[in-house]
Amino acid sequence: MLEMMGLLLLFMIIAAIVAIETRDILAAIISVTAVGFGVIIAFFYMRAPDVAIVPIVVEVLVLVILIRATLRVGLKTFVGNRDFFGMMVTMAMLFVIFLAAIRAFNDLPTFGEPVITRMMDAPSRLYIANGLKETGAANIVTAVLLDYRAYDTLGEATVLFTSIIGAIAVIRRKARKKPSEPEVGEWEE
Amino acid sequence: MSNGMTPIVKTITGWVKGFILVFGIYIVLYGHLTPGGGFAGGVIIAMTFVLITLAFGKDEALKRFRIGIASELDSVGALMFLVIALLGIAGGLGGTFFTNFIAKSNPGEPYSLMSAGTILLSNIAIALKVGSSLFLVFILLVMTKVLYREPGEKP
C-alpha cells in the first residue's frame, strides 16, 4: 500500500508542476483536476469512500464550470513574467512552513494507523461504540456529520449559502451604481 | 450553444439523465446507511441539469428547472435545516440544539430507511440546498456573456 501511495504522490506532484508551468490554460485546469483525482484514489486506498464520493462529484462539476468559463471568454494562455523578489519571498515562506511541518509530522501516528490507537480518550471511540444505538444511523460518518457534529454542518451550509448570494450579486444582469460614482467603462451582457 | 451539441450527445443524454437523477436521490435518501449523503447527492442532482444544459442548451434546462424555483428551493433547504435544529430545542428530550428528537423518542429498526430520525430530514434539506444553488451558479455563469468597453468607446 505504501508503494502505491508513493506512486500516487509522484503522479500528483508531476501534475501540479505541469499545472503551474504550462502556458495553456486548458491544460492547467485539467492538470489541477488530475491532482484532485489522485487525492480521491488515495482516499479509496485508505478505505474512506464517504470522504471520496464528495470530491468526485465536486471535481467533475468544477472541471465543467472552469472549462466553460475559460473557453467562452477566449482566454487561452498566460502572459507575464515572475518577479524575482516575489519568488524569493515565496521560497522563504515555503521553507518556514516546511520546518514547521517536520515538527508537526513527528507527533502524528504512522501512516494509515487510526488516531484512536494512540489516544485512549478520543471522542471517536465513543462515536463508534454508541453511534448506532444513539442515532440509529448505520453509516457512522453521517451520524457524526449530521448528529454529533451537526453544528459544523450548519456552518458549512451557511458558508455555501453566503457564497452563492455573493456570486449571484457579482454576476447579476444589471449593475447598480450611484450617480456620484466616477464613470468607468461599461459591462454589456 | 443554444442549439446544443450533436445528435449523438443528445440521444445518450436523453437515455442516461433519468438514471443519474435517480442515483442522486438514492444517495441522498440512503445517506445514513451507505456512503454518501446530502452534499454528494445534491451535487449529483445538480449535475443532471448541468448535463442537460451542456447537451441541449440552456433553454431546455431552464424549462425543467426555472431560476425562480431554484432560488426558492435554495432558501427552503437552508431554512429547513435550521428548523430541524431548532425543533431539537422545542420538542426534544434533552432540549439542546440539533437534538435527534425523532430517533430518541421512537427509535426505528436499525438498517432500515426510517431508522435515523432527523438525519434523513437533514440530508434532504442539504440536498435541496446544495443541488439548487450549484445549478443556479452554473446556469448564471452560462447565461452571462460579458463584453468590456472602455469609456467613450463605440459599442
- The ipTM is 0.81
Gap between the terminal Cα atoms of chain B: 23
Give chain A's residues under pLDDT 70: 72-82, 172-189
Tell me whether residue B38 is in a domain.
yes
Q: Is A136 close to B116, i.e. CB distance below 8 A? A: yes
Give the HSE-up count for residue B49: Cα atoms under 13 Å, Cβ half-sphere. 25
Tell me whether residue B94 is in a domain.
yes
- Per mean pLDDT, which range of A52-66, B12-26, B81-95 is the poorest? B81-95
Q: Is B103 close to A136, i.e. CB distance below 8 A? A: yes
Q: How many angstroms separate the CA of residue B98 from the nearest CA in chain A?
A: 7
Closest to B37 measured CA to CA, from A51, A46, A111: A51
Tell me the C-alpha distance between A142 and A159, whole Å. 20
**Residue type at B83 in one-letter notation:** V
Tell me whether residue B37 is in a domain.
yes
Residue/partner pairs of A112-118 with CB below 8 Å, 24 or more apart = A112/A1, A112/A2, A112/A46
> With 70 as the cut, is the pLDDT of residue B139 above it?
yes
Tell me which of B133, B138, B148 to substitute to probe the interface with A (most A C-beta atoms closer than 10 Å): B133
Tell me whether residue B131 is in a domain.
yes
Select from B118, B138, B146 the Cβ nearest to the Cβ of A187. B146
- Give the pLDDT of residue B85: 87
Tell me whether residue B148 is in a domain.
no
Residue B60 to residues A172, B10, B54, Cα–Cα distance (Å): 21, 12, 10
Count structural domains, chain B. 1
Q: What pLDDT band is residue B131 in, cutting at 50, 70 and 90?
A: very high
DSSP 8-class letter at A115: G
Tell me which of A47, A57, A66 to substitute to probe the interface with B (most B C-beta atoms closer than 10 Å): A57
Tell me whether residue B84 is in a domain.
yes
Tell me whether residue B96 is in a domain.
yes
Give the domain extent around B99. 7-143
Tell me whether residue B155 is in a domain.
no
Query: Quick check: A128 contacting B, CB < 8 Å?
Result: no
Select from B35, B115, B151 the Cβ nearest to the Cβ of A53. B35
Average of per-residue pLDDT values in chain B: 84
Burial of A80 (0-12, 13-18, 19+ CB in 10 A): exposed
Interface size A-B, in CB pairs within 8 Å, comes to: 148
Residues constituting chain B:
155
Residues B44-86 have pLDDT tens digits of: 999 999 999 989 988 888 888 888 898 899 999 999 999 988 8
Residue/partner pairs of B67-74 with CB below 8 Å, 24 or more apart = B67/B136, B67/B139, B67/B140, B69/B132, B70/B132, B70/B133, B70/B135, B70/B136, B70/B139, B71/B132, B71/B136, B73/B128, B73/B129, B73/B131, B73/B132, B74/A161, B74/A164, B74/B128, B74/B129, B74/B132, B74/B133, B74/B136
